[in-house]
Structure 1
Amino acid sequence: MWRVATGGLLATLEGHTGYVWTIAFSPDGQLLASGSYDSTIRLWEIGLQSTKLESIASLEGHQGIVCGVTFSKDGQLLYSCGVDGTLRVWSVPEQQELQILNGHNGAVQAIKISPDGTTLATGGVDQTIKLWGTADNKPHLTLAGHSAPLVALAFSRDGTTLASSSSDWSVRLWSVLQGECLSTLHGHTNVIYSVAVNPAGTYLAGTGSNNRALVWPLTSTTNDAMAKPYTPCSVLKGHTGPIFSLAFSSDGNQIASSSMDNRVKLWLLSRAKEQSQQEARLTLTGHTDVVMRVVFHPSGRMLASGSADGTIRLWSTITGELLAVLDGKGVVSAIAFSPDGETIAGGGTDGIVKLWDTTTFQLKKSLEPINEDIPIGYMAYDPTGQLLACARYPGSINVWSTVDFDQPARNYKGSQGILWSLAFNPDKAAPPSLLSSSNDGTICLWDINQNKELTTLNHGGFVASVTFMPGGTTAFSAGEGGLIKLWDLSSGKVAAAYRDWFPYEGVNISGAIGLTAARRATLLQLGAVDNEISLR
């Protein structure tokens, strides 16, 4: 704890055996509650007699990370939420659990009580917010609109408006009485949600700011990731919302993109090579909510899109015709074609992996989740088609043998954060290995045969997407900070980096007059150059 006026350290609270995820003061300021990765909540009596305080209680009950804590208005009750999908009500004086509440599908990551103490708001990885009455501890309203897990909640001072933030990088304002979304605020755009490499390994595509996708030519040379990242050769423009997913066709001639604008677009790589900007060849409409994922069929003649509207749509990439609509149940955030093209797998907030036949479009099999219905965020087949992996919130990976789905899936867990992306090594001759990325800034490489983690790389900031280069010895990662990094997996070092153009890219301000030191520094950070030295 710190003294606000002076910035001096008041006390250090030690006792948890894992990372501390959340803290909250009681209304009278006499108690502090903390929730941790160690599955416990600790209560601390605040006093300034010592700089090292001991906890007065350890509350146990949650199974897994405790993501949020908040006190009742009178301080007699404590509410908590966690990755086990439960809300728990605790008596502060008796230091005992009073009630377990269920309502979300999957982990609950945010919790906040209204200023008058009558309403409890919770947000989960199921992308919904629930408003509970504290008199009966029952959910009265469900607020839907975000297209990714909830991160944080805050009430206005009068309690009539609720603000929510999400991993979809938007903030929404809600009417607490009506349950309606009043406004959606966008502005956090320095994030790359998806990267893809063409099969020849000669071009890289990534999402950019301002609803664009970017294309970079790949070279055999390396660069200094921080000093001079490569800039794109072409911009794909046309979406009216952030782009969440990109994919190359198997022949490398087409790029597909999906967006918050509920649309899918198809682009030609040949045009990207020749034009600095291009419009889409086809725009596919029909989804009624955010399109979370796009993948090409191995033949390149069919494209699948998964959406928050609960459907998977299959399209002809030649004509744009809708071929089929598959019922995914809930938000569909993960889809993947088997390498032989005979099966498409899909999953999302209901936690069930579904397998459909791509000829008849009939459901072939459903794989129930292990232990609990934890939502699925990503799926991938290995290049032989014998393994299917899915990433579940918050941080576990299930890997099935497609030869015998009756065998239990293997489970991997290494990251302390939420998994965003998976990629199998494309080299069929190499032992199967898998990359995973997390919002804790890490990339993990797994050896599937040995059931162990081989290495952990630190991207910095949350990592939204990973993909291998052909050959499997290098891989790209992208996410927060606007940089795409190329990793040498044998050394664990960044070999090259790629980024978007800056607003003042290449503008020479050498000798410019009237600029303060602060303005000059800002221009340099935005891509300007001074005496041929850039701080990009």
Structure 2
Amino acid sequence: MPTISVYHAQLRRYRPRGPNGGSGGAVANGGGGGAAAPDGTAVGDDDDEAEPPGTSRLYGHTAAVHAVDMTVDQRLILSGSSDGTVRVWGMEFGSCLAVYPGHVFPVWDVASCPLGHWFASGGADRVARLWVSERTAPLRLLVGHSADVDVVRWHPNGTLVGTASADRTLRLWDVREGKCVRYLSGGLYGSPTSMAMSPDGLHLAAGTDEGQVLVWDLGTARRLAASPPAASHSGPVWALCYSNGDGTLLASGGADETVRLWR
């Protein structure tokens, strides 16, 4: 059965208190989400014991879990699954607090808004959805992509959300209006498989299934840089991350078993 396991930032499995003081489901502690495995389990780095006594996991999804994220206040965990739902889990007891149906096909990514109770999801139904925790129906449908929405990321100001799609485009959406305000595709060879926003909100970076890493200016939608073939990954770029603070470094991780740093 698909499960979610989450680990303490010090690489110890964290077991939240159950309603009677016992161990509840396992949830994440720290800034950011865990990793979702193909077998439906989100895992951390602590694997020195196969299954320590008293360990429990978050059960509820009925198919593979592809994405997890944590709210900025570290009280809730979001998960997206091939069962077409997003679930919200409480940190204190590790219980499922709400199920958000709506996606017709698998949910590939989820992302919590940096400013509060909004969150976003993207999936195989070619639509990104915006949600608020108080209601289980989507508040906005972001329609425009012609293929799977594989990645969703929030702008640091919390009023914009970015989407990356297998249609070989990236879009930036106004959260309040649900309208596309930026369309990025110039110089993008292959489909975007990862995306990151700079801490100052000025730049958007994307990695592709062809190994490229590209950066755009969000104010002008102009492409600023693209990795040359000799420096690009030799396979899909699965992960991107800007350095905290000034965002002068960009890290990429790919299927070619390498991590690369870009300035």
Letter in 1 for 2:88: L
Do 1:377 and 1:391's aligned partners in 2 also have CA atoms closer than 8 Å? yes
- Give the CA deviation at 1:282: 5.0
Give the CA RMSD over aligned residues.
3.0
Do 1:312 and 1:332's aligned partners in 2 also have CA atoms closer than 8 Å? yes
* C-alpha distance after superposition, 1:342-364 (max 9, x if no partner): 21111211111211111333421
- Equivalent residue for 1:470, pick from 240, 244, 260: 244
Letter in 2 for 1:340: L
Question: Is residue 2:35 matched to residue 1:257?
Answer: yes
Name the CA distance, whole Å, in 2 between partners of 1:381 and 1:439. Answer: 22
- Equivalent residue for 1:303, pick from 77, 89, 109: 77
Question: Is residue 2:217 matched to residue 1:447?
Answer: yes
- Which residue number corresponds to residue 374 of structure 1? 147
Name the CA shift for 1:416/1:361 in 2 (closer, same or farther; >3 Å): same
- What is the aligned-residue identity percentage? 26
**Runs of 4+ deviating beyond 6 Å:** 233-236, 278-281
- Which residue number corresponds to residue 411 of structure 1? 183
Name the CA distance, whole Å, in 2 between partners of 1:352 and 1:461. Answer: 26
Name the CA shift for 1:481/1:341 in 2 (closer, same or farther; >3 Å): same
Query: Secondary structure of 1:363's partner?
Result: coil
- Give the CA deviation at 1:325: 1.1
Name the CA distance, whole Å, in 1 between partners of 2:203 and 2:123. Answer: 24
The 5 A counterparts of 1:502-521 are none
* C-alpha distance after superposition, 1:249-298 (max 9, x if no partner): 6x44x762322222335x5xxxx7xx884668652122222111111111
The 5 A counterparts of 1:214-293 are 251-252=30-31, 256-265=34-43, 277=48, 282-293=56-67
For structure 1, the residue ranges without an aligned partner over 5 or more in a row are: 1-212, 217-232, 237-246, 490-536
* C-alpha distance after superposition, 1:453-487 (max 9, x if no partner): 11112233221111112021112111122222232
- Equivalent residue for 1:349, pick from 114, 124, 129: 124
- Equivalent residue for 1:340, pick from 115, 129, 154: 115
Query: Secondary structure of 2:210's partner?
Result: coil
Task: Please report the TM-score for the alignment, with normalisation by the length of structure 1.
Answer: 0.40
- Which residue number corresponds to residue 323 of structure 1? 97
Do 1:264 and 1:284's aligned partners in 2 also have CA atoms closer than 8 Å? no
More strand by share: 1
Name the CA shift for 1:234/1:341 in 2 (closer, same or farther; >3 Å): closer
Name the CA shift for 1:276/1:321 in 2 (closer, same or farther; >3 Å): closer
Query: Secondary structure of 1:417's partner?
Result: coil
- Which residue number corresponds to residue 86 of structure 1? none
- Give the CA deviation at 1:367: 2.0
Letter in 1 for 2:105: G
Letter in 1 for 2:240: V
- Give the CA deviation at 1:438: 0.6
Name the CA distance, whole Å, in 2 between partners of 1:447 and 1:315. Answer: 35
Do 1:326 and 1:361's aligned partners in 2 also have CA atoms closer than 8 Å? yes
The 5 A counterparts of 1:100-139 are none
- Give the CA deviation at 1:424: 0.6
Name the CA distance, whole Å, in 1 between partners of 2:210 and 2:163. Answer: 18
- Give the CA deviation at 1:376: 0.3
- Give the CA deviation at 1:234: 6.7
Name the CA distance, whole Å, in 2 between partners of 1:255 and 1:355. Answer: 19
Equivalenced residues, count? 235
* C-alpha distance after superposition, 1:57-108 (max 9, x if no partner): xxxxxxxxxxxxxxxxxxxxxxxxxxxxxxxxxxxxxxxxxxxxxxxxxxxx
Task: Please report the TM-score for the alignment, with normalisation by the length of structure 2.
Answer: 0.79
* C-alpha distance after superposition, 1:372-419 (max 9, x if no partner): x321000000111122110010421011122432x4442111321121
Query: Secondary structure of 2:139's partner?
Result: strand
Name the CA distance, whole Å, in 2 between partners of 1:316 and 1:408. Answer: 32
Name the CA shift for 1:479/1:314 in 2 (closer, same or farther; >3 Å): same
Do 1:334 and 1:379's aligned partners in 2 also have CA atoms closer than 8 Å? yes
Do 1:282 and 1:320's aligned partners in 2 also have CA atoms closer than 8 Å? no
Name the CA distance, whole Å, in 2 between partners of 1:354 and 1:367. Answer: 6
The 5 A counterparts of 1:89-168 are none
- Which residue number corresponds to residue 432 of structure 1? 202
- Give the CA deviation at 1:341: 2.2
Name the CA shift for 1:467/1:282 in 2 (closer, same or farther; >3 Å): farther
Letter in 1 for 2:36: S
Name the CA shift for 1:421/1:282 in 2 (closer, same or farther; >3 Å): farther
